[in-house]
């Protein structure tokens, strides 16, 4: 299930920046950053998506990952513990450059690294949206819209990412189809 991916660069890969915004106080910042990088590496390991530190959170083609509470500057306020735990904005042109790809995590949740609610598992799912994937209807997929800790990228997740970006070191087989944009640019993981 694909919405729209980032444009490929001349080397047939999408080069994207990443930046960290506010972190949760419930897990050491170094651990949070390591879990986020682990999720980025999972996607770049199966598709031609290259992530590198950005000079600024607002730089072009940059995905900012931040924790926020309640109303936090977009049209999708968080609802406190339980309920919506995260949302992400699809790439350009579905969303404007300043927010495209950004991942917001509800700071009011009881975040953990390796336990429930697992930062890596949630960011792995949300990063799928950040590179242009929609929800899947298959329960074994990371892109299935319901949280489960410990998920790994499935063949469906890999196939969708490779349809947009190609396998590492290879160009995509053919131009990826563009499907209709969702009614809401932010996709909460429920």
pLDDT at 170: 77
Could you tell me which residues come within 8 angstroms of residue 130 by beta carbon, excluding any fewer than 6 positions away? 63, 88, 89, 90, 91, 101, 102, 103
Separation CA 78–CA 52 (nearest Å) = 28
The residue assigned the tokens 């590492």 is 168
The residue assigned the tokens 């489960």 is 148
Is this prediction's pTM over 0.85? yes
pLDDT at 32: 97
pLDDT at 172: 63
Query: Is 121:149 a contact under the CB 8 Å cutoff?
Result: yes
Q: What is the pLDDT of residues 24-77, one digit of tens each?
A: 999 999 999 999 999 999 999 999 999 999 999 999 999 999 999 999 999 999
Q: Are strands 49-53 and 86-88 parallel, antiparallel or unpaired?
A: unpaired
Indicate if 97 belongs to the active site: no
Low-confidence residues in the chain, pLDDT < 70:
171-190
């Amino acid at each position: 299930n694909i919405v729209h991916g980032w444009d490929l660069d001349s080397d047939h890969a999408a080069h994207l920046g990443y930046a960290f915004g506010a972190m949760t106080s419930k897990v050491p910042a170094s651990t949070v950053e390591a879990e986020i990088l682990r999720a980025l590496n999972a996607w770049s390991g199966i598709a031609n998506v290259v992530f590198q530190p950005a000079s600024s959170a607002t730089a072009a083609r940059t995905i900012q990952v931040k924790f926020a509470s309640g109303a936090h500057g977009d049209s999708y306020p968080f609802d406190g513990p339980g309920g919506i735990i995260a949302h992400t904005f699809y790439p350009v042109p579905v969303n404007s450059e300043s927010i495209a790809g950004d991942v917001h995590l509800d700071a009011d949740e009881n975040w953990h690294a390796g336990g429930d609610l697992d930062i890596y598992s949630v960011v792995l799912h949300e990063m799928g949206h950040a590179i242009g994937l929609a929800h899947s209807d298959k329960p074994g997929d990371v892109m299935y819209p319901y949280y489960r800790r410990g998920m790994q990228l499935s063949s469906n997740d890999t196939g969708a990412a490779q349809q947009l970006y190609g396998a590492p070191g290879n160009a995509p087989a053919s131009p990826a189809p563009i499907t209709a944009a969702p009614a809401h640019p932010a996709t909460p993981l429920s």
